[in-house]
Structure 1
């Protein structure tokens, strides 16, 4: 393919991309250009007709350059404002926006970009400011109010989009809730069947096999807690009793050389919590522990926060079992995915969940603001 054909194909691809974007939201991409053109022509009306000059007098070249500068200025200021508004609305409702400060910053940005641009363009001979400071005053008197109005349009657009996104999010939560309720209705008979089955197994175990009987009892209590307390808050003492039973049950099924170190505060008076938020992290640790078979669990109360951390050793032999892939698997499990969704619903903006790994250990930390 010759060079000119390659250039033609490239131009066609670029034009297709531009048309595709314009077809999705033409105002978003053409709006700044239209506003820049309108602002420049309003400025020309004020400066030319009030002086009894001919409209667009002074040469088409000078005015064309001025028009181009006005359009570019509008695109630059639009980019700045869209990014700023995205940050402002992303922080809501945690941080209440101060509209007055927003508009003061917008005025500062308009004047801080507009005046140096006009000054440099005049000294380069691109535009003509015949009356010196008077024209600078006119430029600011026209552009500042017009672009404050433009900022208001952009802000309202962002606010409407934010409201629409929140409405969609609420509808998704409602749909998920209905789906969950449907699944619970479908599986109502499962707990009864399961407990009856465990009860049958328990009485079939020989009386002398105390370890097996104890395991069935522990499993029954763990399942009962998970099934019947998932939709309501529990005291921290109840949650701790469950966690200790769960850890003991997990230790029974793993190698005897597994070392579990626990550093857990005992005084949790008056603290209630949504249940089963720490269990997925503990389950993850028992599932992926390798190497030195070490698990360290820490659960502390710090004023209004609950700080939980857990680490488990990984395989130290990279040739047999690479550390990084195993760490990635541990980070991307279904348990952690579901935990993140529950935290987002139960403790929005009031939790921190971090996971990371080094060459020998996988770490997880969960902080709840209660």
Structure 2
């Protein structure tokens, strides 16, 4: 059923429900007594019809609000929960309907007997079963369609991601093999370039083969140190590097390449007196990773998000450690500080 048809039925259904309830009540109560309600003044019948429709609209809005409010909290629907919902709506509906029936009989000057009360209650109860079944059935069907659509979207995203990952792997593999070829072409006396190629190969190897699952924290930290050592070649020789890694962190697991973007950012923007500080500490059952680097005085202001690399890091953290991490980026006059806390 399309959205437009659903809206049309939403506005038409109460009128049909109200008229059906009134028609059943009149047929059941008038026919046995040989009364003919269609022979009454048309004004009286119009009052009853209009009143029934208004009451039906008010009741439907209340019923829809009640069901929607309960849906997120009820979890899996069971026969017991469905019966409870129906009984609540039945009681509320009868409490609303009986005074309205009395008022209608008062204005139409039609005596209200016990038969009228019983017949009205039974008719309303039976028709409410149909109305509630349609409402709940439509809601469950819509939830099923939404879930199927969401599942299909996730499947498409996963397929697209896998294709991109396989495509992205081709380039590092090609570069990795090319580096090995270049390495053996360099004279053994040229230690500096051979060392750089060895370090770059180690970095590529980690990104290619060790990032499919959680890794030991010491592996991640070792990768970071290898990267910093590799970057020293382009930095000022007066680089002041301070490292403080808590030994008690050994053995803990972490998703790979989560700490790396902070260090990469520090190596990219370091300047001034070329000072860098790396800390990995354990505090209150959480990993506290801190990177501080000096910056040149003329560097452009760094956005609060920290650029593409750090923005991607935030997205990964949202997926992997939702509600269990805190990332703070701060800039002072002479340094840039990144603090990442991940709870275990």
- Decide: shared fold, TM above 0.5: yes
Instruction: Indicate conservation of the 8 Å contact 1:285/1:310, yes or no.
Output: no
Query: Is 2:137 the partner of 1:152?
Result: yes
Instruction: Indicate conservation of the 8 Å contact 1:218/1:245, yes or no.
Output: yes
Give the SS at the match of 1:50: helix
Distance across 2 between alignment mates of 1:314 and 1:106? 64
Deviations 1:94-113 (A, max 9, x none): xx635457536744763586
Query: Is 2:41 the partner of 1:63?
Result: no
State the partner residue of 2:64: 78
State the partner residue of 1:54: 37
State the partner residue of 1:11: none
CA RMSD of aligned residues (A): 5.0
State the partner residue of 2:150: 165
State the partner residue of 1:17: none
Distance across 2 between alignment mates of 1:148 and 1:313? 64
State the partner residue of 1:97: 76
**Aligned-pair CA distance for 1:114:** 4.5
Change (3 A) 1:199 1:273: farther
Distance across 1 between alignment mates of 2:221 and 2:281? 10
**Aligned-pair CA distance for 1:158:** 0.5
Query: Is 2:227 the partner of 1:241?
Result: no
State the partner residue of 1:16: none
Distance across 1 between alignment mates of 2:76 and 2:7? 26
Instruction: Indicate conservation of the 8 Å contact 2:258/2:313, yes or no.
Output: no
Query: Is 2:92 the partner of 1:110?
Result: no
Change (3 A) 1:240 1:187: closer
Corresponding residue pairs, total: 324
Instruction: Indicate conservation of the 8 Å contact 2:262/2:291, yes or no.
Output: no
Give the SS at the match of 1:298: strand
Change (3 A) 1:275 1:173: same
State the partner residue of 1:340: 315
Gaps of 5+ in 2: 31-35
Change (3 A) 1:62 1:250: farther
State the partner residue of 2:175: 190
**Aligned-pair CA distance for 1:220:** 3.2
Distance across 1 between alignment mates of 2:129 and 2:6? 21
Deviations 1:194-213 (A, max 9, x none): 343356568574x5x6xx76
Distance across 2 between alignment mates of 1:290 and 1:38? 76
Distance across 2 between alignment mates of 1:339 and 1:36? 49
Give the SS at the match of 1:44: helix
Distance across 1 between alignment mates of 2:94 and 2:272? 66
Query: Is 2:304 the partner of 1:327?
Result: yes
State the partner residue of 2:13: 35
| TM-score normalised according to structure 1 size | 0.63
Query: Is 2:213 the partner of 1:228?
Result: no
Instruction: Indicate conservation of the 8 Å contact 2:179/2:197, yes or no.
Output: no
Instruction: Indicate conservation of the 8 Å contact 2:215/2:254, yes or no.
Output: yes
| TM-score normalised according to structure 2 size | 0.66
Gaps of 5+ in 1: 1-21, 90-95
Distance across 2 between alignment mates of 1:274 and 1:367? 13
Change (3 A) 1:40 1:247: farther
**Aligned-pair CA distance for 1:162:** 0.4
**Aligned-pair CA distance for 1:178:** 3.0
Query: Is 2:165 the partner of 1:180?
Result: yes
**Aligned-pair CA distance for 1:281:** 4.0
State the partner residue of 2:33: none
